[in-house]
Amino acid sequence: MASESDVIVIGAGAAGLAAAKELSRLGLTYTLVEGSHRIGGRAYSEEIAPGVWFDLGCSWLVGDAINPFVAIADKLGIELCQDKSHLFKEENHRFQRNGEPLNDNQRAACLRFYSDTYQAISAAAKKGEDVAVSDVVDLDNEFAPPLLCGIATSWGKDIDLVSTADFASSTGELGFQALHGYGTLVAAWGADIAVLLNTRVERIDWSGHGVKVTTPKGTIEGRTALSTVSTGILASGDILFSPGLPDWKMEAIHNLPMGTENKMGVHFDADVFGEDGRGHFSTWNDDGNAAKVDVSVMGLNTAVVFVGGRHGVWLEKQGQQACHDFAVDRVADIFGHDIRKHVDRSIVTAWSTEPWTRGSWACALPGQASQRANLQRPVDERLFFAGEATVYGGQGTCDGAYQSGAQAAQEIASQLLAR
């Protein structure tokens, strides 16, 4: 194990990997440690069938050409599906209620409700009213259920726990996908980076002139440390800081709690969707069951069912079989019960109990959107912080994490090289 570096980078997700690459480019040494057995963090893909990949974490590349992973994919020869991005735009979104698609008048009314809600959220944010989204939504509208479900999956929290200012600053788009998985793309990009895997950080001692990071494999010394771990890990106390982090930093951490979006990927042994059935759906029943469903626009025989917020956490606690059954039921709501005989296998996530993140992404509580800046702010010019939770506009995204890691590396370099 390396004994001394300019920077000890903690966490080998997109932010940590981007920081390592940028530090190397700037001529600084680093030691990158990762508690789990792999790189990529919340960008992670698994094969659900031979040659068919399912993204357990981030799925969509947002920002089109400005997303750094677009150029990375092109350089690596990894296929993206940019030509299918229009199918994820709101005007092409499909709504299914009680097993039937909305008629033209219902669809128009539903889209008006969505537009009015987004305008109300934006208006509150512009007036400096960082309130809960629930304060500006007409909850009695007949089309509130799919909107509430959509926000819970997009933010990982229900609308009473989502900040209007945070919502208004976000990208608000899905983008497009990678044929073999976003996680596979990130793993290929980071494959040339030296990482100490299975190296969990237990303690960060910044009481002296530098920083000492204690792991089960020994202690690493550095001039500075860059934490890219989630607010879920920082809030849990899994990493002991000595001395403790200042109150303003802990306030930022606790006011940016992790939300949960769980995903259930279902693979079928035949094309049960048809050419016209592929796209992005919101489906809900009057019995309270609601979900978003992504039916592969890339021609794969897969559907991904999304649930978030309290329902996502509750369903996770029911176990994998309950998640599988829920997912198949929601696909059947759209395509009919005959699809059940073609179900091959499924993969389900459990992000709220994932030990390396304790959630999907950070969601600012109402009134607390400004805490992202405090989370990013260094402590004593030795402890630096990066990751999607520190970003405005790109929060909750892989490219936002990337940008934060590169930016943190540049900030560290400007300080270290000036000494």
**Segment 238-270, tens digit of pLDDT:** 999 999 999 999 999 999 999 999 999 999 999
Q: Select from 353, 375, 397 the last residue of a domain.
A: 353
Q: Select from 299, 318, 353 the last residue of a domain.
A: 353
Most confident of 52-66, 169-183, 306-320: 306-320
pTM higher than 0.85 for the full model? yes
Residue 65 has pLDDT above 80, yes or no: no
Confidence of residue 275 (pLDDT cuts 50, 70, 90): confident
Structural domain for 124, as ranges: 90-172+261-353
Residue 176 has pLDDT above 90, yes or no: yes
Answer yes or no: do 224 and 331 share one domain: no
Please give the C-alpha separations between residue 180 and each of 5, 191, 264, 268, 280, in angstroms, as whole numbers. Answer: 35, 16, 17, 17, 19
Answer yes or no: do 332 and 377 share one domain: no
Answer yes or no: do 265 and 337 share one domain: yes
% the chain with pLDDT above 90: 94
Answer yes or no: do 363 and 330 share one domain: no
The backbone region for 6, taken as left when phi is positive above 0, alpha when psi lies in -120 to 50, beta otherwise, is alpha
Residue 3 has pLDDT above 70, yes or no: no
Answer yes or no: do 249 and 274 share one domain: no
Residue 417 has pLDDT above 90, yes or no: no
Answer yes or no: do 282 and 332 share one domain: yes
How many domains are there within the chain?
Answer: 2
Helix (H) / strand (E) element for 399: namely helix 398-416
- Mean pLDDT for 170-177 is 85
Q: Select from 353, 386, 408 the last residue of a domain.
A: 353
What whole-number distance in Å separates Cα of residue 311 and Cα of residue 21?
38
pLDDT at 174: 86
Q: How many CB atoms lie within 10 A of CB 204?
A: 20
* Nearest Cα to Cα of residue 151 among 165, 133, 171: 133
User: Is 138 inside a domain boundary?
Assistant: yes
Answer yes or no: do 244 and 386 share one domain: yes
The backbone region for 51, taken as left when phi is positive above 0, alpha when psi lies in -120 to 50, beta otherwise, is left
Answer yes or no: do 403 and 268 share one domain: no
Answer yes or no: do 29 and 131 share one domain: no
pLDDT at 64: 78
Answer yes or no: do 163 and 30 share one domain: no
Kindly report, residue by residue over 136-160, the tens digit of the pLDDT. 999 999 999 999 999 999 999 999 9
What whole-number distance in Å separates Cα of residue 306 and Cα of residue 351?
12
